[in-house]
Structure 1
């Protein structure tokens, strides 16, 4: 028996989309991904630029293969709003580009020190070689961003495939400027505090030892929480589960907590205020993201979700 047809009225939201159809015909069992494909095909428009909402309650109609028209709350004669989100770029591409900045900048500053820091009072051939602490700083930061690149390519599953193209400039400015140029310039300078450390004795230098420990624990913890989050969503699905265990029962986003722990370790190794500036800016942003995620979890899962008092740092914030 053929499924009952559902005719949806289409209205634009925001700037007009040429050739946007006035209606779409689907069935209750069709997926919302098929609705997106139909509208994009009729309008000859990039599907990633479309955002569809239910005109009745304003709720998003996701572009998902596992959500039906009926499950999205759409029925015959319902009205949907279609918005042009503007030029888009893949989330994965943005992540790769933003992490690539510090991944390249730190080795460049480290190996090109004689050219970057040369001055009339400091002849390049008399510049002291990098200290062991400066070398360790460069290694830890490079390892951190190599891990981030690997996770972007092989671990993360994104609920949305694209974001506005302008975000690549905003996100890259944060990482290239603050984590890249800002930390690199001050850490590898011949006048930096780290330059004066001639040897590294883990048994005697407790700050460096603690920094290494925090870095290792933070990176391992952060990687594992990303695995937990990845496994909540099947490949190609937008459905999200409730994360549990390994810190998720204490704070909303333990992945952010472990990120801060790892950077606290880097700070103890670089011992540069530039690293502390990056931690403060990035930490504040992560706390804001985590608070928004906590609100979404409570709205989406209701009583099934164990509300958290702390978003990122246990017993603090």
Structure 2
């Protein structure tokens, strides 16, 4: 029954050892990253940079300004998406839609870095390179897997238009809550505050919730095993990250923090 369902919703896995291995590695590595977040072993960026640095021995690290680090994270993946329009010409609508949404996703990230986010710290170069490599390789692999899938019959159920709707909901919701976070900080005060507005009254990471919705949309557009594996891994990672974020806010603000606020899913988790 499960196999039949997968055959109905997904293209058959491409005959590519690289894509098969990357599907497994992407899902497992992201899931492990989410698990490590819940155990206090954070990726060293954002509010968790100083927390992680305090736990480490004093080791000389190459540091980047937060803005430069965040640009390094997203720009190569954006360029991969942009270049794909020229590399893969004369493809079907689904393929073009996939490249378009991935390019828009990372273009939005770059524009947010330049014009929306406010910064108060640094980022380790090692962390920036690790995350940048993950985004760039996963973007290229997703596009390549889509290219290989075109030699197979299409899934019985076409989800690409559902995927577009979910992607739009996700990217708009993600931007809206990023904008709320940005407005918490002023030029003279870059301290972290308890966010209010939007879904922040219900969950501490609504921007992660909408990012998950966004990538569910991407996987519906692609309908490939790699896109599904990457989306599942992203869900696991952001779930772990949101749990760690909730713990961080509880530790920092204590009783000032709303007791009913969840990590990721309103009223549930």
Q: CA deviation at 1:186?
A: 0.4
When the two structures are superposed, what TM-score results if normalisation uses the length of structure 2? 0.71
* SS of equivalent to 1:182: helix
Indicate which of 105, 108, 117 corresponds to 2:83: 108
Q: CA deviation at 1:84?
A: 5.7
Q: CA deviation at 1:206?
A: 6.5
When the two structures are superposed, what TM-score results if normalisation uses the length of structure 1? 0.61
Alignment match, 1:218: 170
**In 1: Cα distance, 2:68 partner to 2:166 partner:** 29
Moved more, 231-240 or 146-155: 231-240
Structure with the larger strand share:
1
Q: Deviations for 1:263-308, whole angstroms, at most 9, x for unmatched residues?
A: 1111111111211222222222222221221112112222111135
Would the aligned equivalents of 1:85 and 1:164 in 2 still touch at CA under 8 Å? Answer: no
Indicate which of 96, 113, 123 corresponds to 1:163: 123
Distance 1:175 1:236, change over 3 A: farther
Q: Deviations for 1:126-175, whole angstroms, at most 9, x for unmatched residues?
A: xxx30011111111111111111100111111231x12221122111210
**In 1: Cα distance, 2:50 partner to 2:191 partner:** 17
**Which of these two proteins has the greater Rg computed from alpha carbons?**
1
Alignment match, 1:310: 262
In structure 2, list runs of 5 or more residues that go unmatched.
1-48
Matches within 5 A, 1:96-175: 96-113=71-88, 129-160=90-121, 162-175=122-135
What is the alpha-carbon root mean square deviation over aligned residues? 2.9
**In 1: Cα distance, 2:227 partner to 2:69 partner:** 23
Task: Give the aligned length.
Answer: 217
Q: CA deviation at 1:89?
A: 1.2
Q: Deviations for 1:221-250, whole angstroms, at most 9, x for unmatched residues?
A: 100100110111112533122112211122
Alignment match, 2:29: none
In structure 1, list runs of 5 or more residues that go unmatched.
1-50, 54-59, 61-81, 115-128, 198-204
